[in-house]
Structure 1
């Protein structure tokens, strides 16, 4: 299922954010596989992005969320994530 998540600005109740990478816009894209997450990360770094979170499980591995995050040249956070279906 395609999914796009967008967040901009400070969190409710937070003070005005400092002007630093990651405090602007956060775009999250749903990836189809772990390989797609890794390809996104490589392409983003090769395209001028900077490291924010190498491809890895976010949170406990049993939660099944595998993602990578980068800062684009304007300081926005770009994330690609894949949620694995776990057999219970």
Structure 2
């Protein structure tokens, strides 16, 4: 089965809530997104290269690494309007 990236919703903007912060994502293309964390010690804006894997229907895995070494993997379910996310964040000692 050859799943297509054609249905990845380029141009969509969405918010993802984590326990301690919210990130706003803008899907710029199938290879880049922009995120913004507006408040707290992790606050910043960055454009990152992404790896998108279609899982079927409107379901995609999207992953990236940030400049500070943080990594994020999302399972984005656009049929249900849900994002399941896992992030490994920079350590507190590198927050500055």
TM-score class, shorter: 0.3 to 0.5
Which structure shows the higher helix fraction? 1
Tell which has more relative contact order, 1 or 2 (C-alpha 8 A, sep 6+): 1
So what's the TM-score if we normalise by structure 2?
Answer: 0.32
